[in-house]
Amino acid sequence: DAKTTQPPSMDCAEGRAANLPCNHSTISGNEYVYWYRQIHSQGPQYIIHGLKNNETNEMASLIITEDRKSSTLILPHATLRDTAVYYCIVSLSGGYQKVTFGTGTKLQVIP
Amino acid sequence: EAGVTQFPSHSVIEKGQTVTLRCDPISGHDNLYWYRRVMGKEIKFLLHFVKESKQDESGMPNNRFLAERTGGTYSTLKVQPAELEDSGVYFCASSGYSLLSYNEQFFGPGTRLTVL
């Protein structure tokens, strides 16, 4: 699986958009970008995934650059409950693959 | 619909003792995974069941760890004998199977294991 690079931490004001970057310059053509998060003392939670096109669901939006070497997870209106560690993962398709967590980005939403 | 459940939520044992962790996946999910986070480290994959069969156990640290999934429903992870470095949080996850969509993994709340 391709390696990802994320900033270790970020702050975001409550109600503002949180933009979490991820670099995955060695991604191959058939690898997807996935995002999970872990809220303190809970199990990880799937957020969203994409291949080439931008994706949006009820939780977030995923913007993937045209060369696919980086992506951004957007939480449009961050709340205090979005404070968590966010993991960007690159892997082949198929959710029955193991999830390889890195160190992630610790997002602190500030009141 | 009930999510993935794990039992116990916390376990404190002494070095050399045996502990068994249990995971109940979401009903109908054939795929079951075990992960763990030891203190200060990243969440690491341990193994993957498809129904009752071990699909990938490449992450199991050593032969003190034994995972089973008899009947393809719930799973147990036994640590025998436990060592200090086994302390951490053990997560279980499950997923369904579809060729048409991403089979996201649903994680349980974890079991916090402390070995004294």
CB contact under 8 A, B108 and A98: no
DSSP 8-state class, residue A5: B
CB contact under 8 A, B42 and A103: yes
Would you say A43 and B109 are in contact if contact means Cβ atoms under 8 Å apart? Answer: yes
Distance separating alpha carbons of residues A45 and A42, to the nearest angstrom? 9
pLDDT along chain B (116 residues), means of 10: 92 97 95 93 94 94 95 95 97 83 86 97
CB contact under 8 A, A43 and B45: no
Q: Exposed/middle/buried for A67, CB within 10 Å: 0-12, 13-18, 19+?
A: exposed
Distance separating alpha carbons of residues A16 and A23, to the nearest angstrom? 23
Say whether pLDDT at A110 is over 70: yes
Q: Classify the C-alpha dihedral A75-A38-B106-A21 as positive or negative.
A: positive
Q: In this structure, how many other beta carbons lie within 10 angstroms of the beta carbon of residue B74?
A: 16
Tokens representing A18? 């949180």
Chain A contact present for B26, CB below 8 A: no
Instruction: Please give the pLDDT value at position A95.
Output: 53
Instruction: Please give the pLDDT value at position B104.
Output: 84
pLDDT by residue (tens digit) across A5-35? 999 999 999 999 999 999 999 998 888 899 9
Distance separating alpha carbons of residues A45 and B105, to the nearest angstrom? 8
Tokens representing A31? 């690898």
CB contact under 8 A, B50 and A100: no
Instruction: Please give the pLDDT value at position A93.
Output: 66
Instruction: Please give the pLDDT value at position B99.
Output: 63
Instruction: Please give the pLDDT value at position A100.
Output: 87
pLDDT by residue (tens digit) across A49-106? 999 989 999 999 999 999 999 999 999 999 999 999 999 998 876 556 788 899 999 9
Cβ-based neighbours of B12, under 8 Å, separated by 6 or more: B114, B116
CB contact under 8 A, A99 and B35: yes
Instruction: Please give the pLDDT value at position B100.
Output: 60
Would you say A111 and A82 are in contact if contact means Cβ atoms under 8 Å apart? Answer: no
Instruction: Please give the pLDDT value at position A1.
Output: 62
Facing A95 at nearest CB: one of B59, B95, B108: B95
Q: Which of A32, A33, A39, A99 to mutate to test the interface with B (most CBs of B within 10 A)?
A: A99
